Amino acid sequence: MNDFLSADAIRTRFSQAMSAMYQQEVPQYGTLMTLVQQVNARCLTDSPTLKARLSAADELERLNLERHGAIRVGTAQELATLRQMFAVMGMEPVGYYDLSQAGVPVHSTAFRPVSDEALRRNPFRIFTSLLRLELIDDLELRQKAAAILAQRDIFTPRCRALIAQHQQQGGLGEADADAFVTEALETFRWHALSTVDRATYQALSQQHRLVADVVCFPGCHINHLTPRTLDIDRVQALMPEYGIDPKTLIEGPPRRNVPILLRQTSFKALEEVVGFQQGDSGTHTARFGEIEQRGAALTPKGRALYDRLLAEAGTGADNQQHQQRLADVFRAFPDDERSLREQELAWFHYRLSEQGEAQPPQAGESLAMLIEQGRIIADPLVYEDFLPVSAAGIFQSNLGDRAQGRSAGHASRADFERALGAPVHDEMQLYQARQQQSLARCGFADA
Ligand code: OOG
Ligand code: NI
């Protein structure tokens, strides 16, 4: 019999190792973690209702473990190997994000767990972007970038061997799993020594700072790790007291009774000293910190309403004005769970209450009535994904104030999937299936 460590356990070990490494590399991330933990603890003491709710929905345990990270790669081969590496940790590609519309020459997916169980254990996600070299208009420079990328291997030989071993055996034992975590971490480590000379760095950076970030280093350094907070407005307000300078606007929807989707803010990328080939040195800005507050996952109908209202609200000059404007415009978005459910704007997870266990649903009883009677409890499903408009705002705030308009390429999900070597999951189908399964467990097979 095989004694394999579960994918969930490997993912948790890896996310903890990554967090420890990033705390060493970027001490401000450690400060931000402390701040978030303090604010979360305070929210839970201040609101026993919230605490009971999170606890009943099995969300309390994952809270302090929960974070996402982001990386950027340069080639199809790198992306495809990452897919296999993340598969060891039970993380699958979900969603397609086209950032080229926002002037950022990448397209992306999120590697994350997909099942209820795995998400409950640890929903660790990595937003992963592939550089679109075809959007570099200088042909010579494009070829040079491709040649530089072709020479590097961002994976250690042992990491490759352990991925292959996992594929052959269908799992990894404890010692191999630990070795895998150690080796995988190497891919995401920061390297202060660039693989190129200063002139090449500058030429690539001139094209787009992101191009230089992806092409000029020997690995795909993790560029931020983001803890989940229960009150992003409070953390944003407290950041300066902790010596952290937040970006101006909190991205995403406004503060609401029932939080929806994802609200995010970040601190500016650090200016770090790097060495170039031939002994020169200079600076590079890539790594930053971010926090997020997650709310309900929206159905396609809810998402369409969100996108429309967000566009209508536009961008305010400062955060207070921006949030006020958002709050005004989002009055058109129902803000109680019942309306969200009845108008099918958000996805829900349904479960039997104690009373419901004692008196199970009978044929002919309606879901609305069972919820009314307290026999079935409906909790909004947490949004597990990302928002392209917010992501573009985060990318931009870290590219400096210099506007870098780039010929907007067209979305090319097919190209991305070809590079990845697999299709990406449709996130809406995943939420719908989870809602459906929860209903089936309550006895509503064909609801
Ligand atoms: C990724 C930015 C997107 C988010 O939270 O939306 C992101 C990057 O800068 O590489 O992480
Ligand atoms: Ni992020």
Does the beta carbon of 129 lie inside 6 Å of ligand 1?
Answer: yes
Burial of residue 89 (CB within 10 Å: 0-12, 13-18, 19+) is buried
pLDDT at residue number 411: 65
> Cβ neighbours of residue 16 under 8 Å, at least 6 residues apart?
65
170 backbone dihedrals φ, ψ, rounded to 5°: 80, 15
Mean pLDDT, rounded, for 291-315: 96
Asked if pLDDT for residue 406 goes beyond 70, the answer is no
Q: Which residues of 271-310 are buried (b: 16+ CB within 10 A; e: fewer)?
A: eeebebeeeeeeebebbbbbbbbbbbbbbeebbebbeebb
Does the beta carbon of 228 lie inside 6 Å of ligand 1?
Answer: no
Q: How far is the CA of 107 from the centre of ligand 2 (A)?
A: 14
Residue 297 — pLDDT band, cuts 50, 70, 90?
A: very high
pLDDT at residue number 137: 85
Q: Which helix (H) or strand (E) holds 282?
A: strand 281-285
Asked if pLDDT for residue 153 goes beyond 80, the answer is yes
> Distance between CA 167 and CA 84 in Å, rounded?
9
The string of pLDDT tens digits covering residues 1-11 is: 579 999 999 99
232 backbone dihedrals φ, ψ, rounded to 5°: -70, -30
pLDDT at residue number 306: 97
Asked if pLDDT for residue 61 goes beyond 90, the answer is no
Q: How far is the CA of 231 from the centre of ligand 2 (A)?
A: 17
pLDDT at residue number 23: 94
Mean pLDDT, rounded, for 196-213: 94
The string of pLDDT tens digits covering residues 263-288 is: 999 888 888 999 999 999 999 998 98
Residue located nearest, by CA, to atom 2 of ligand 1: 391
pLDDT at residue number 80: 98
Identify the sign of the CA torsion 120, 69, 263, 96. Answer: negative
Q: Tell me which ligand sits closest to the C-alpha of residue 290.
A: 2
Q: Which of these ranges, 28-42, 51-65, 89-103, 158-172, has the smallest mean pLDDT?
A: 51-65
Closest CA to 59 of 380, 400, 405: 380
Q: How far is the CA of 200 from the centre of ligand 1 (A)?
A: 26
Asked if pLDDT for residue 218 goes beyond 70, the answer is yes
Residue located nearest, by CA, to atom 6 of ligand 1: 391
Burial of residue 375 (CB within 10 Å: 0-12, 13-18, 19+) is buried
Greatest mean pLDDT among 27-31, 184-188, 439-443: 184-188
pLDDT at residue number 393: 80
Token look-up 């392209």 returns: 388
By percentage, how much of the chain surpasses pLDDT 70?
A: 96
Does the beta carbon of 264 lie inside 6 Å of ligand 1?
Answer: yes
Does the beta carbon of 141 lie inside 6 Å of ligand 1?
Answer: no
Q: How far is the CA of 290 from the centre of ligand 2 (A)?
A: 6
CA angle 295, 298, 300 (to 5 degrees): 165
Q: Which of these ranges, 54-63, 64-73, 144-153, 239-248, has the smallest mean pLDDT?
A: 54-63
Mean pLDDT, rounded, for 53-60: 84
CB 270 within 8 A of CB 285: yes
392 backbone dihedrals φ, ψ, rounded to 5°: -60, -40
pLDDT at residue number 60: 84
Closest CA to 258 of 48, 53, 36: 53
Asked if pLDDT for residue 407 goes beyond 50, the answer is no
Structure tokens at 403: 């506007």
- Best mutation site among 111, 287, 394 for ligand 1 pocket (most ligand atoms within 8 Å of CB): 394
Structure tokens at 337: 């769970």
> Distance between CA 235 and CA 382 in Å, rounded?
20
Residue located nearest, by CA, to atom 7 of ligand 1: 391
Distances (CA, A) of 157 to 15, 53, 57, 177, 184: 21, 46, 42, 15, 10
If DSSP codes are grouped into helix, strand and coil, which group holds residue 336? Answer: coil
CA angle 260, 266, 267 (to 5 degrees): 165
Residue 116 — pLDDT band, cuts 50, 70, 90?
A: very high
Range list of H helices, 108-231: 116-121, 139-150, 157-169, 174-187, 198-207, 209-215
pLDDT at residue number 409: 55
pLDDT at residue number 89: 98
The DSSP bridge partners found for residue 336 are none
The string of pLDDT tens digits covering residues 339-388 is: 999 999 999 999 999 999 999 999 889 999 999 999 999 999 999 999 98
Q: How far is the CA of 224 from the centre of ligand 1 (A)?
A: 8
pLDDT at residue number 403: 44
194 backbone dihedrals φ, ψ, rounded to 5°: -75, 155
Structure tokens at 349: 């997870």
Q: How far is the CA of 387 from the centre of ligand 1 (A)?
A: 9
> Distance between CA 161 and CA 168 in Å, rounded?
11
pTM of the predicted model, to two decimals? 0.95
> Distance between CA 183 and CA 157 in Å, rounded?
9
Q: Which of these ranges, 29-38, 83-92, 224-233, 386-395, has the smallest mean pLDDT?
A: 386-395
Q: Tell me which ligand sits closest to the C-alpha of residue 386.
A: 1
pLDDT at residue number 400: 59
pLDDT at residue number 41: 94
Asked if pLDDT for residue 130 goes beyond 60, the answer is yes
pLDDT at residue number 192: 94
> Distance between CA 291 and CA 265 in Å, rounded?
6
- DSSP codes of every residue in 131-165: E-GGG---HHHHHHHHHHHHT---S-HHHHHHHHH
Closest CA to 307 of 370, 389, 377, 233: 389
Asked if pLDDT for residue 182 goes beyond 90, the answer is yes
The string of pLDDT tens digits covering residues 305-333 is: 999 999 999 998 899 999 999 999 999 99
